[in-house]
Amino acid sequence: MTIPAAILPDVAAPLAEHTQPGPDALVFTGVKGGPLRRSGSNRLSGWPHVVTGMGLPGLHFHDLRHTGNALAADMGVSLRQLMARMGHDNERAALIYQHKSSTADRQIAGSLDALLRASRDRRSDDEGTTRALAPGG
């Protein structure tokens, strides 16, 4: 998955410090070095302490995924693009995010408005040219 370039410095430094080198290195590891299991993730990572220290008590790790998907849906991406980003092969989850998005609806209305205004401007320009070319115009 591609991540925004703006966060690369914030992500790269901790990765360099806390993960093994290589493209297959695990970002979050359990006590024995294997994948971190959901059941022990809060305790082992200190997540509750960290988010409370950031002034975000009660923030769950999965909330980050939810926010990213909601923002992507707000950008007006297609259902297929959202599904690919989420790693889902089922449309149901992606549709939840798209239904929550009113931004995409506003973008559609804004684009339609721009098309209509451009069409009216062209028609007005054409009428002005026709009048100017008409005898006595």
Per-residue pLDDT, 72: 84
* Length reported for the chain: 137
Residue 49, φ and ψ in degrees, nearest 5: -65, -45
Angle between helices 61-74 and 103-133 (to 10 degrees): 20
pLDDT in tens, 80-96: 898 898 888 888 888 87
pLDDT in tens, 40-56: 788 888 899 999 999 99
| Residues whose CB is less than 8 angstroms from the CB of residue 41 and which lie 6 or more positions away in sequence, other chains included | 28, 47, 61
- SS3 of residue 13 by DSSP: helix
Domain ranges of the chain: 41-101, 102-137
Residue 10 and residue 24: Cα distance in Å, rounded?
A: 20
Return the DSSP state at 20.
-
> Left if phi > 0, otherwise alpha if psi is -120 to 50, otherwise beta: which for 22?
left
Q: Which has more confidence, 134 or 84? A: 84
